[in-house]
Chains A and B, each alone.
Chain A
Amino acid sequence: MAEGIAALKDSIGVERAVGVYEIKRAKIESFARAIGDPNPLWQDIAPPSLIPALGFARILPELISLFPTLLHGSTELECHQPVRAGDRIKVSSKLANIRQRAGKDQRPVAFLTIELTYKNQRQELVARCRQVLIAQ
């Protein structure tokens, strides 16, 4: 685990572009179907849970390659305005901090806090999300 943490040290606090995601109506509908939520609201407006899914998968492979075990600790989502069909959402992320402590079995555990920001095509803040991943 120490190697994984050493490899990430320089990226702490550095904001990185993750990607730009076009929110088509079809994408909203397939997401709503995938989560099994038939609410008719989810046609022009995206379910809020779509936001943390945007780009999350792109930041995972690097972390998975660095740590033998990586679990999801928590998700904190703050919504500033709804994501609507036709929006283009720009996602950026930064590793805010790494905290280490001894786990239950005395193996060291690292808590990686990743902060993501979501802006629309008008550069307005749409949402923020803080993800905590638990690495061993």
Chain B
Amino acid sequence: MKKQLYYEDIAVGGEIPPLVKKPTTDQLVRWGEVSGDHNPIHFDEDFARSRGLPGVIVQGQLAFSFLSQLLSDWTGEQGVLLKLNCSYKGMNFPGETLTCRGKVIKQYTMADKYYVDCSLWVENPRGEKTLSGTATVALPHREQ
């Protein structure tokens, strides 16, 4: 089990421990199978090139799942993801190391519940942000 994060443990500006992912062509195929996304731009090198792409590209929603994992790894079992929004800013390619990062932008309480808003992004090996977004997570409080 991941270590539990509590509301008292966070501070605005605090960084989320980065998550490093390296999607492979096999992973693209497997994600295609479980999601039913059979668009050949994710599996077929020649097809992808015929569409003007440099090669097969990582499914946007597979990269979205990396941001979701970044949050669940950080918040632990009792953290509840309420919102996760992201824009796909650039293409990701299999074999490249993707670093998922984030930081706390706001923490607040509402109706006796504890929330944290974060900004999140995925960086490719050239330091470009290929995904960027925001999330809201409900966290437990030690004294409740």
B34 touches A34 (CB 8 A): yes
CB contacts (< 8 Å) of B80 on chain A: these are 79, 82
Q: Name the distance in Å between B139's Cβ and chain A's nearest Cβ.
A: 15
A78 at interface (Cβ–Cβ under 8 A)? yes
CB contacts (< 8 Å) of A57 on chain B: these are 35-38
**Number of residues on chain B facing chain A (CB within 8 A):** 36
CB contacts (< 8 Å) of B117 on chain A: these are none
A60 touches B61 (CB 8 A): no
**Number of residues on chain A facing chain B (CB within 8 A):** 32
From known contacts A47-B68, A58-B36, infer whether A39 and B87 are also in contact, taking CB-CB under 8 Å. no
A96 at interface (Cβ–Cβ under 8 A)? no
List CB contacts (< 8 Å) of A28-71 with chain B. 30-31, 33-37, 39-41, 47-49, 52-53, 56-58, 60, 64, 69, 71
Can you show 7 pairs from A to B with CB atoms below 8 A apart? Answer: A34-B30, A48-B72, A64-B39, A72-B60, A76-B85, A76-B86, A82-B80
A residues at B contact (CB < 8 Å):
27, 30-31, 33-37, 39-41, 47-49, 52-53, 56-58, 60, 64, 69, 71-79, 82
